[in-house]
Copies of this chain bind each other. A is one copy, B any other.
Amino acid sequence: MPRTAKTPQIPAIGPLDRSAGALGRQLAQKLRDAVKGGGLQPGESLPSTRALAESLGIARGTVVQVYEQLMAEGFLVSCPGVGTQVAPSLAGVPRKGAARGMPLPPLPPAAEAFARVASQFTPLPPVPFAVSVPVGMAAPGLAWRRLGNRIRAHGAGAPGGYGDPQGALPLREAIADYVRRSRSVHCGAEQVIVATGTQQGLFLACMVLLGQDDCAWVENPAYLGITALLDALAPGRMVRVPVDEEGIDVAAGLRLCPGARAAFVTPSHQYPLGMPMGMARRNALLDWARARSAWIVEDDYDSELRYTGHPFPSLQGLDPGRVVYLGTFSKILFPSLRLGYAVVPPALVQAFRGARALMDRHPPSADQHVLAAFIAEGHLDRHIRRIRGVYAQSRAQLLQILQEALPGGLAWLQPSDQGMHCVLWLAPRIDDRAVALQAVRAGVAVRPLSPMYAPGSGRPGLVLGLGAFPAEQVAEAARRLAAVIAAAAA
C-alpha cells in the first residue's frame, strides 16, 4: 500500500485537554496508550510532525519533542525515507484487554435462532452438484459484461445518489413485461418491488403479512430459507402441510390450521421435490384463501426451466389481488448478482415499499440498470433459451451417470421434468447429513434433504444441482458420490 494512503491524523489518541496544560506530556501519554492498546500497531507509520501538530492545534515543536521522547523510550523508530513508525519490535507484546469483565446482555430468542441458522447458509464450493453455479455455457456471456461496462460509464449506471426503495423504474417495467408474457402474472411496474432475491421477498412478506399471533402454512418439505425464517420470526406459528404428487395437500392444511393468515407455496415446481401443483389444488388453495381471508405467497424460483410439456401459468394470474409472487434472477442469471423481485397486490405496495426502505433503503443502482437493458434488448430471453438446452442436457447426462454409478437399492432419483436440481432419495437407513458432509470432503457439493422436512417427518435424500460443469467432472463427482453413499450404507 502506498504511503500516501495513510490519513494524517491519529484518532486513537483523542483530543487534548487544553485546560489541563502540559500538552506535550498529554500527547506522549496518549501515544503510549494507543500503542499499548492496539490503536497504533507495530510497524504503522505516524503522520508527519507538521500534520499532527496542525490537526491537534498545537505547536509543531511540541510534536517533534514528543516523537523524540518516544523514540528514546523505544515506542517509535525513525526510518529514513519512510518517516516515523511504531517500533516493529513491539509486535507480540501483550495488549491491554479490551473486555471489561462485565457480563454481556442476554440475547432474545430470535437472536438465538439466527445464530443457529448461520452455518446453514454457508455456500457450497463451486463444484458439482452445487446449484446455480454460472460456469461455462450457463454463465451470462460477453453481452452482460459489455452492457455493464457501458452502463456504468455513462448515465443510469454511473455512481449516483439515493434511489427508489421499490427499485429503478426501467427494471420494474422490464420485469412486469417479462413475468406477464412468460408467466401470466397480471401486474404493472408499480406493483413490482425489486428485491435482492427470493430470500428478501420471503422476509418482506413475513414482515408485512404476519401479525404477532398469525400462523402460516409452509409445505413439508420446503426451502430452508422460509422454514428458518419463520422459526426465527414466528416461533411456534409455522404449520407444516404435507405435499403429495399434486403439491400441497390443502385438505390437510384445513385440518391442521384453517385460520392461517398466509400460505407459502411453490406451485410451478415444488421445492425440493419438483412436481407442479395440479389445477384442482390451485383452485382449492385459492378457495381457502378467499373464504378465510388469507394471503398466498407464490415462490416461482426456477419456472423458466421446464423441459417437456406446457408450463402452468402462475397462481398469481388466477387471483392477482391475493397472491404475492416472488421471482429471482439468481437461478437463470447468477446468484452473486442478488437481484429478484416481488410482485405484490396493489393494496400491499406501500407496506412492502416502506419495509424495504427500512430494511436497506434500496437495491444497488448500477446492476439494476444493466439488467433492465439486458432484458429490454432481448438478451435474457436468448440466455434462457440457451441454458434451457444446457440444463436439459446436463440433466439427461447426470441421470445416466448416476444410474450407472449408484449402488442398487441404496439410492434412486425422484422423477421431475423441470428445474435446476434433482432429488436423489437414499435408503431409509442412510444418514443424509453425514453423506453430505462426507461428500463435501470428497469434493462433491450436495445438500441433505431431511432438514427440509419438519422435525421427525423427514426422509433421507440429497439435492443435486444441475449445471454446465464439464462431463468428465460430473462423471467423476457422481462416482465419488456413489462411493460415499455405499460407505454410509455399509
Which residues of chain A have a CB within 8 Å of any CB of chain B? Answer: 1-2, 4-7, 9, 11-16, 34, 37-39, 41, 44, 55-57, 98-100, 102-118, 120-124, 126, 130, 132-134, 139-140, 144-145, 148-149, 152-153, 158-165, 180-184, 186, 195-197, 199-200, 203, 207-212, 214, 225, 228-229, 232, 261, 279, 290-291, 293-295, 308-314, 317, 319-322, 330, 333-339, 345, 347-348, 350-355, 357-367, 376-378, 380-382, 384-385
Q: In the docked arrangement, what's the CA distance between A279 and B16, Å?
A: 11
Interchain CB contact under 8 A, A133 and B161: yes
Q: Per a CB cutoff under 8 Å, which of B1, B120, B381 touches A5?
A: B381
User: Knowing that A104-B321, A196-B360 are A-B contacts, what are 4 other residue pairs whose CB atoms are under 8 Å apart, sorted by A's residue number?
Assistant: A114-B207, A118-B165, A159-B337, A203-B359
Residue of B whose beta carbon sits closest to that of A15: B310
* Chain B residues with CB under 8 A of A104: 293, 321-322, 345, 347
8 smallest CB-CB distances across A and B, nearest first, come from A108-B211, A5-B378, A114-B354, A336-B365, A121-B357, A118-B354, A115-B350, A160-B336
Interchain CB contact under 8 A, A354 and B199: no
* Chain B residues with CB under 8 A of A115: 350-351, 353-354
Q: Number of copies of this chain in the oligomer?
A: 2
Q: In the docked arrangement, what's the CA distance between A108 and B100, Å?
A: 42
Q: Per a CB cutoff under 8 Å, which of B124, B186, B313, B380 touches A11?
A: B313
Q: Which of A161, A279, A347 has the most C-beta atoms of chain B within 10 angstroms of its own C-beta?
A: A161
Interchain CB contact under 8 A, B350 and A100: no
> Given A98-B319, A208-B107, do A310 and B114 touch, yes or no (CB 8 Å)?
no
* Chain B residues with CB under 8 A of A37: 317
> Given A108-B214, A118-B350, A364-B337, do A14 and B161 touch, yes or no (CB 8 Å)?
no
* Chain B residues with CB under 8 A of A365: 336, 338
* Chain B residues with CB under 8 A of A134: 159-161
> Given A6-B381, A122-B164, A126-B160, do A207 and B351 touch, yes or no (CB 8 Å)?
no
> Given A209-B108, A335-B162, do A355 and B114 touch, yes or no (CB 8 Å)?
yes
Interchain CB contact under 8 A, B357 and A4: no
Q: In the docked arrangement, what's the CA distance between A293 and B102, Å?
A: 8
> Given A115-B351, A337-B364, A361-B121, do A12 and B162 touch, yes or no (CB 8 Å)?
no
